[in-house]
C-alpha cells in the first residue's frame, strides 16, 4: 500500500473533505468521451481497470487503522463506472463492520436509488459530480452523453439517499455564450448541491478540446505560465463573442451568487458535526474570500 507514513497528512487540506484525509485509487480509466477531460485522453485511458473489492477494502482498513484520518477520497476517474464492483466494495465494507467515511467521483447518470443507499450505508458521505453546464447544447458539444433532466433526477435520488453532493461546473466550453452562462448559474441554484466548484474552460494539451481551440484560433496564449496565476488555473481561451476576461468574471460571479445566499450559509453552519468540521468550513470560507480579494486586486491593477 502507499507509504503515507512518509508524509504528515495534517499538512494537506481540501475544504470539501473531512480533515485530515487521504486519497485512494482503486481503479483507473474512464470509458466516456468528454472532449475537454484530460483524464482518459492524457492520463489513464478509456479502458477501466480496477483492483478487487477485497484488496481495495484492505487498504481502506489499513489507512484508517494507521493514520489519523477522518475520510478517504476515491480518486478513481469514475468510481461508479462499474456498478457491480461499486456494490462489491460496499458489501465488503459492511461485512467487515468498518465504521469509516469516504467520498468518490460519480457521473450524474446513476439513477439507482438502491445503489446510492447502499453506498451511504457503507460510509459514503459525498459524491463529486460534473453537471458542467446548464445548457444541453453545450453538454452535447463536448460529448458528455448526459441529459439535463437526467442530472435533475440523479440529484434528487442522491439527496433522497442522504448523500452530500459537490458539483463541478465549467464556464467557456464550446458553444458558451452570455445566455448559456446564465442558464448554468440558474441550473446550479436549482440543483442546490451542498457545495460547488467552478472553473474556466481549460484546453489541456492532448485533449480534443485543445486541438479544436487551437484549430479555430481561440487560444491566445504565448506562454504556459498564462495557464496558472497565484497557483490557480485561469481561463486561457478567447472567443470572438466571449473574452477570457468575461469567462473569468463569470466564474467569480457564479461563486458569489451561489454561496452568498442565506440558505446556503445556514445549511453549511447547521450541517456542522464537530470542531474539526467547523474548522474545515471556516478555512474553506477564508480561502474563498482570499480568492475574491485576489481577483478584485487583479482587476484594479488593470
**Helix ranges, 122-261 (H):** 136-141, 148-160, 178-191, 208-215, 244-259
Asked if CATH classification 3.30.160.270 holds for the domain at 4-300, the reply, yes or no, is: no
State residue 164's pLDDT score: 97
Parts of the chain with a pLDDT under 70: 296-302
Phi, psi of 169 (to 5 degrees): -125, 150
> Would you state the cell numbers that stand for residue 26, as one nine-digit string?
482503486
State residue 272's pLDDT score: 82
For residues 30 and 78, the answer to whether their CB atoms sit within 8 Å is yes
What does the pLDDT look like over 72-95, one tens digit per residue?
A: 999 999 999 999 999 999 999 999
> Would you state the cell numbers that stand for residue 3, as one nine-digit string?
507509504
State residue 297's pLDDT score: 67
Q: Residue 84 and residue 80: Cα distance in Å, rounded? A: 9
- Collapse the DSSP code of 174 into the 3-class scheme (helix H, G, I; strand E, B; otherwise coil) and give the result: coil
State residue 206's pLDDT score: 94
pTM of the model: 0.92
State residue 302's pLDDT score: 56
Q: Residue 213 and residue 197: Cα distance in Å, rounded? A: 23
State residue 234's pLDDT score: 78
State residue 40's pLDDT score: 86
Number of Cβ atoms within 10 Å of the Cβ of 115: 18
State residue 290's pLDDT score: 80
What residues does each domain of the chain span?
Answer: 4-300
> Would you state the cell numbers that stand for residue 73, as one nine-digit string?
477520497
State residue 285's pLDDT score: 82
State residue 249's pLDDT score: 94
Would you say how long the chain is, in residues? 302
What does the pLDDT look like over 18-47, one tens digit per residue?
A: 999 999 999 999 999 999 999 889 988 888
Amino acid at each position: 500500500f502507499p507509504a503515507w507514513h512518509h508524509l504528515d497528512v495534517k499538512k494537506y487540506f481540501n475544504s470539501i473533505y473531512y480533515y485530515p484525509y487521504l486519497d485512494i485509487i482503486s481503479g483507473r480509466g474512464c470509458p466516456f468521451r468528454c472532449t475537454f477531460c484530460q483524464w482518459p485522453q492524457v492520463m489513464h485511458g478509456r479502458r477501466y481497470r480496477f483492483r478487487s473489492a477485497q484488496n481495495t477494502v484492505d487498504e481502506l482498513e489499513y489507512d484508517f487503522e494507521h493514520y489519523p484520518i477522518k475520510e478517504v477520497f476515491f480518486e478513481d476517474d469514475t468510481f461508479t463506472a462499474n456498478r457491480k464492483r461499486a456494490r462489491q466494495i460496499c458489501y465488503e465494507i459492511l461485512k467487515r463492520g468498518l465504521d469509516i467515511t469516504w467520498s468518490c467521483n460519480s457521473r450524474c447518470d446513476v439513477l439507482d436509488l438502491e445503489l446510492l443507499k447502499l453506498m451511504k450505508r457503507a460510509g459514503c458521505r459525498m459524491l463529486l459530480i460534473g453537471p458542467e453546464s446548464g445548457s444541453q447544447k453545450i453538454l452535447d458539444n463536448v460529448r458528455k452523453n448526459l441529459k439535463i433532466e437526467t442530472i435533475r433526477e440523479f440529484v434528487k435520488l442522491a439527496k433522497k439517499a442522504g448523500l452530500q453532493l459537490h458539483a463541478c461546473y465549467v464556464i467557456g466550453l464550446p458553444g458558451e455564450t452570455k445566455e448559456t452562462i446564465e442558464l448554468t448559474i440558474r441550473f446550479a441554484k436549482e440543483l442546490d448541491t451542498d457545495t460547488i466548484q467552478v472553473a474556466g474552460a481549460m484546453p489541456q494539451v492532448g485533449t480534443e478540446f485543445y486541438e479544436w481551440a487551437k484549430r479555430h484560433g481561440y487560444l491566445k496564449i504565448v506562454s504556459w505560465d498564462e495557464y496558472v496565476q497565484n497557483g490557480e488555473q485561469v481561463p486561457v481561451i478567447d472567443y470572438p463573442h466571449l473574452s477570457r476576461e468575461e469567462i473569468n468574471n463569470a466564474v467569480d460571479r457564479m461563486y458569489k451568487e451561489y454561496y452568498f445566499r442565506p440558505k446556503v450559509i445556514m445549511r453549511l453552519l447547521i450541517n456542522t458535526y464537530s470542531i474539526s468540521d467547523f474548522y474545515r468550513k471556516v478555512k474553506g470560507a477564508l480561502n474563498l474570500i482570499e480568492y475574491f480579494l485576489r481577483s478584485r486586486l487583479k482587476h484594479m491593477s488593470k
